[in-house]
Amino acid sequence: MSKSKTIALAFVASLAIGPVNALQFPGTCITPPATVTRITGINTRNAGMEARYTLPDIIQACHQGYVDQADAPPNVCIDRHRDLLQAPPLHATADCVAGIVTVEGQRTVLPAHRDCASGGFRAIDAFKTLCPSYGGAVERED
């Protein structure tokens, strides 16, 4: 089977069983989201989640065009990010009382700006996953 047919079949499979139906660990502005493999302590001072990249995560992100493609077609994007499949697990923790989240070692006190430079995209999305009942401001509007 050709490489493009394999990629196409994997993409179709991802729509049925992949990240569409899975809890997502937020991506960055240059990497795709990953699939959450473990989550603990939701809405507590010790909430946490772990995730791994899957091929369906990468295929979906590259077809949607929101990862670092540099105007590359999806197959080039997929090849460029394929090494993420061997990456160690991603981690995020949150203190849902204090409004603090740490994603991959980057600590953010909320509210935060939703941007790439500060890591706010990732921090806000991770916090909302880990602390869905939080009553304070999560996103800064100014």
- 136 inside domain: no
- 139 inside domain: no
Count of domains forming the chain: 1
Dihedral sign computed on CA atoms, order 7, 11, 13, 18: positive
- 22 inside domain: yes
| Domain limits for position 89 | 3-130
- 140 inside domain: no
- 138 inside domain: no
> Tens of pLDDT along 67-109?
665 677 889 989 989 999 999 999 999 999 999 999 999 999 9
> Tens of pLDDT along 21-46?
579 999 888 889 999 999 999 999 99
Question: CB neighbours (10 Å) of residue 122?
Answer: 26
Nearest Cα neighbor of 104 from 3, 15, 28, 8 is 28
